[in-house]
């Protein structure tokens, strides 16, 4: 099972979920709010990662 | 645990829209939007007219706006940013974060140069002054704004008649 990921738009909007869920949510957000359709690469490049503790 | 955050995903494109979604809360104006009380940034293309694009996007998210009007433009980084004031009703603002709009001084340009710095509050101040002028001068806009709205706009001195000798 893949770890859920988190993404944040410059406007502050955030989404959590699997890669496919993020693609769907970010595409919908981009089209509805910002009049743009992000590519898969653009969406995945903005995923926030939590590195392991030092 | 530390969080490594990449640069946030942002709108790109050479022409962008900056929409100030405003509404009348009893006796004062408030700013709202899908992202809260901040300018709403959207991408504009070379096909759809900017005003029609803003109207369509606002309509799709919160319903038909009462007024959409472009009020200024400026360059920001590599893009030209077109600023709009979009007026909506209180029922359309429900559910979105909203804050009263504070007054601000205008960003003054030189005779042949743009202002060196322009803040969002100044852009909004200019936009509402522009709307106040339209409410007096433009029948289509005046017709869409209620008497309460026009009263609230009365506090904003119409821009064309301000600071002239």
- Chain B contact for A5, CB < 8 A? no
Q: Which of B149, B154, B143, B158 is nearest to B30 (CA)?
A: B149
- Chain B contact for A44, CB < 8 A? no
- Chain B contact for A24, CB < 8 A? no
pLDDT (0 to 100) of residue B119:
87
ipTM of the complex: 0.74
The pairing of beta strand B67-76 with beta strand B28-32: unpaired
pLDDT per position as a tens digit, A3-22: 789 998 888 889 999 999 99
pLDDT (0 to 100) of residue B1:
43
SS3 of residue A25 by DSSP: helix
CA B7, B13, B15: angle at the middle one, nearest 5?
125
Q: Which of B94, B95, B74, B88 is nearest to B144 (CA)?
A: B88
- Enumerate the β-bridge partners of residue B119: none
SS3 of residue A6 by DSSP: strand
Contact indicator for B127, B85 with CB cutoff of 8 Å: yes
pLDDT per position as a tens digit, B33-59: 998 999 999 999 989 999 999 999 999
Q: What is the mean pLDDT of residues A22-44?
A: 92
Residues of B in contact with A49 (CB under 8 A): 3-4
Residues of A in contact with B16 (CB under 8 A): none
Contact B9 A8 (CB under 8 A): yes
Considering the entire predicted model, what is its pTM? 0.84
Distance CA B155, CA B72 (A): 20
Distance (Å) from the C-alpha of residue B147 to the closest C-alpha of chain A? 31
Contact indicator for A21, A40 with CB cutoff of 8 Å: no
pLDDT (0 to 100) of residue B162:
54
pLDDT (0 to 100) of residue A1:
58
SS3 of residue A20 by DSSP: helix
Nearest to A35 among B4, B8, B57 (CB): B57
**Which residue positions in chain B have pLDDT lower than 50?**
1-2, 164-165
- Of the residues B4, B5, B9, the best mutation for testing chain A's interface (the one with the most A CB atoms within 10 Å of its CB) is B9
Contact B34 A50 (CB under 8 A): no
pLDDT (0 to 100) of residue B165:
45
Contact A33 B42 (CB under 8 A): yes
pLDDT (0 to 100) of residue B67:
97
**Which residues, 6 or more positions from A42, have their beta carbon under 8 angstroms from its beta carbon?**
B9
Minimal Cα distance from B3: which residue of A?
Answer: A50
């Amino acid at each position: 099972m893949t770890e859920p990921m988190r993404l944040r738009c410059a406007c502050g909007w955030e989404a959590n979920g699997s890669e496919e869920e993020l693609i769907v949510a970010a595409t919908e957000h981009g089209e509805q709010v910002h009049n743009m359709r992000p590519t898969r690469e653009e969406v995945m490049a903005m995923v926030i990662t939590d590195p392991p503790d030092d | 645990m530390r969080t490594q955050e990449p640069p946030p995903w942002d709108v790109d494109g050479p022409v962008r829209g900056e929409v100030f979604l405003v509404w009348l809360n009893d006796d004062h104006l408030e700013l709202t939007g899908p992202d809260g009380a901040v300018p709403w940034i959207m991408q504009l293309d070379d096909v759809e007219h900017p005003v029609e694009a803003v109207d369509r996007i606002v309509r799709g998210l919160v319903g038909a706006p009462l007024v959409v009007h472009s009020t200024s433009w400026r360059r920001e980084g590599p893009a030209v940013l077109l600023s709009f004031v979009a007026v909506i009703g209180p029922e359309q603002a429900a559910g979105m974060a909203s804050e009263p709009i504070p007054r601000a001084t205008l960003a003054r340009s030189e005779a042949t140069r743009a202002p060196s710095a322009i803040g969002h509050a100044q852009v909004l101040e200019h936009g509402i002054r522009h709307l106040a002028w339209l409410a007096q001068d433009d029948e289509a806009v005046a017709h869409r704004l209620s008497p309460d709205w026009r009263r609230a706009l009365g506090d904003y001195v119409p821009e064309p008649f301000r600071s002239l000798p």
